[in-house]
Amino acid sequence: MESILDLFLRIRNRLFTLLLSSLFMEIGVGCRIVPPFRFKGLRGVSLGEKVIIHRDCWVHTLGEKVERANPKLIIKSHSAIGMGATISAAQQVVIGEHVLLARNVFISDHAHAFENISIPIMDQGINHIAPVIIGNSTWLGQNVVVLPGVTIGEHCVIGANSVVISSIPDHCVAVGAPARVVKRFNQKSGTWDRVV
């Protein structure tokens, strides 16, 4: 049986999501956004059905122009964004269906410029802009960092504290900084084999 506190939190989350829903480019049925939630540029964000964004997340898109046919951040149906995650999109970040992000995951399709030593880094803007894609049914562990231009395939596991700087194929387990593939699913045997 649901407690009074659970009922209150569920109603609060539904009302909070309803209040924010008009700010998104698109928001699917059954989405939940848990406060507190920091955001900027939600007009560039498309959420599929039953997406959950847990508390303390920071979601933003950069730039003024957003075309309805081309959102900058797409989170597809049934994906869950863990507490404290940061997702930042200047060009495009696509998170597939049934993707699970653990706590404090960071995903960005751009980096801070720093090359000019006569200008503070905070005033130099961004560079290295390249799209990021996270495949369906993938799990990113706690504190994972995904950098610009990376594609992570379907049904992958990225271990906690990994930094993904290059693309990962489908059906792989990758760990480390930088992340490297340590296991790959063997279609013939149906097992996860170690990569030497």
Active site residues: 112
> Rounded to the nearest 5°, which phi and psi values hold at 88?
-130, 125
Is there a contact between 152 and 164 (Cβ–Cβ < 8 Å)?
yes
What distance in Å separates the CA atoms of residue 177 and residue 144, rounded to the nearest whole number?
A: 9
Q: How far apart are CA 46 and CA 76, in angstroms?
A: 8
Neighbours of 104 (CB within 10 A): 19
CB count, 10 Å around CB of 188?
A: 5
